[in-house]
Structure 1
Amino acid sequence: MDQDKYLSSYDYHLPPQCIAQTPAVPRDHSRLLVVKDPFTVDHQHFYDLGNYLKPGDLLVLNDTKVMPARLHGQKENGVAVEILLLTECTENQWIALVKPGKRLKLGAKVKFPARDGEKPDLWATILQRDDATGGRLLEFVLEPRQRLWDVLPDYGEIPFPPYIGDRQATDDQYQTIYAEKLGAVAAPTAGLHFTEELFTKLAEQGVQTAKVTLHVGIGTFRPVEAENILDHVMHQEWIDVPPTTVEVIEKTRASGGKIFAVGTTVVRCLEGMAQESDFPRQPLQSFRGQTDLFIYPGYQWRLVDGLITNFHLPKSSLLMLVSALISRPRLMAIYETAIAKGYRFYSFGDAMVILPEACRGQEKIR
């Protein structure tokens, strides 16, 4: 456990050519690394997922939808400005990351031209600094009864990750096919591999699905900077685990099925909800609110049995979360194997599924 608490223990070298720039087409033709048990992996494709799930198992999906959160504008003196919207605080007042931050003083006004060049410019004023994110609070000037949500597609663009270069992929390819609730600044990428055909096949074999919502924000991708990871503070993110999903989870557990989180955001939803419920000491309760849950090795799991996830950045909190499920040495060895076998990494990359049998030794709270 001592090594597990050091940030440097989660570092690895990734050759640049391993970073996927475009998704697999069709989506479910991406590769799938299957972690079968503490010692064995299989190399398959995502459309083979059903071979590793059983009737009665449950896939929990994050139905968030990426919003056109990146806006390009200029200060009144013509200096270029870029912002990334994070959270709406009150009507038309948003927390955003800004570049260049040092040149955007309080009271500065920024205009954002419409993408089609025909609609009027959108204006915003910098109100204050937000210490929690290092960003700024902006107030947008709009017509009465109009909200930024209404006009955002006219001014913003989908914020692809910075490691994707020439943006050869389309906006639709950076949304899951079940994306529904607008509010994320990044896609829940484990879900990008699913197709309607695969869902149909899984349903026919008795695999169930349920949905939660976590609007992916800075808490998910903010870098860990403290060498002792216990000093890292997670930014809060809003989650929603509705009563219908809790009901399906309870029925799945009662029938002996396994709970598979599709992505680390779903892990945070389910484990955050279980923590709020004080499960298993108390019954599960639906939950809608903020979570700052930070999962790293030594974490005592409450609900999640298996995980579908992509390959994550070095030294990231996501790498720590997955390490908590199968151990850090095991995960880092799997990453070495994936690199050697040419797996594609990050948002548009390949996937891995960690089966419940691979998680033996990771104790649950009882």
Structure 2
Amino acid sequence: MHVPDGFINAPVSAATGVVAAAAVAVSLRGARRELAGAGAGGVAGAERTAPLAGLVAAFIFAVQMLNFPVAAGTSGHLLGGALAAILVGPYTGVLCVSVVLLMQGVLFADGGLTALGVNITDMAIVTTVVAYALFRGLVKVLPRRRRSVTVASFVAALVSVPAAAVAFTALYALGGTADVAIGKVFTAMVGVHVLIGIGEAAITALTVGAVIAVRPDLVYGARGLAKPLELRTSPLAPPADEPSRPAAAAPAAASASAAPAGASAAPAGASVAPRRSARRVWLAGLAAALVCAGGISYYASASPDGLEKVAHDQGIDAKARDHAAKDSPLADYSVKDITDPRLAGGLAGVIGVGATLAVGTGVFVVLRRRRNADSGEQPGTGSGEQQAAGSGEHQGAGAGRPSESA
């Protein structure tokens, strides 16, 4: 659904640019909290969220290269707003998709540069807001199980795509450059994007379900639904969901008195959630992105996507303009001067994944460090009060809540 230059007139394009800039500014502030683990997730392991968010952006870029057929002569691809919001949070999700759209427009001539505000508003903001609002509503009413997160992900992603089609139709009604009946645009756009939404929902649910199956603690939308593993500080220490017993106090006190000077001692009966590395998940996600962009993309459908098909059939593209970066060495997802299409496309995909990963991770690392600087923390640590709060959240996250493997 990448809108080219010339579909929407200059005033509306400029207005959506302002909307997009404001939304990105708000998301930068909100993403600081999400990357720091504020709110539902606690602060434990927050330093790993920046590279994971960058990986989500790179993965969305890669999967967007995999156009799948949805009807005769029409294809669709992932938009990614729902997936990003559920995996890393709504504010961070808006930034992830915005980074993808920026890289696609600048490097690959996909989506007009003057229409960047339109594309961010439609594909990053609308999809993320609609998907995450619906996702949270469903999670609240469904049983508090991991499987419910997957089901809610499917429904949220399914609805987010036709919602973006409705948003595009509204923008076209305000500033469309061709004289086309809005009713026809609405019917065609929503009709084909409902079908594309099914593919989006399947990809989103499969990805979220796969991450939940191995590391549910890394899924923003699943935080607090499952009891974390506990590492007790003493054999006599009670579980986190049981009251402390006086008998456990003596060994804990003895341990505290024997601790070296300056070392912090865990309170009696306290349990500590072990820190687990996210490196394996990060490497697996990166490998999947590289395989999708560098190999599987060669077999993607060559049919025009939903917007391109509707634009051609309805005459929306009557005043479309050539992309300013049409002569880019990576234009149309192919490396210039390489004659083998498989190699040219695969190499372009790998370059795109690497560039998106670098830019996305860089943005999120800067946000994370600014959050640390504003709160007076050292990177990878938290203040004593924050650590205590995070420990309390982890101890109480699963109390009285059933957990079930996906």
TM-score, normalisation: structure 1: 0.21
Structure with higher strand content:
1
The structure with the larger Rg is 2
Task: Say which structure is richer in helix.
Answer: 2
TM-score of the superposition, structure 2-length normalised? Answer: 0.20
Larger relative contact order (CA 8 Å, sep ≥ 6):
2
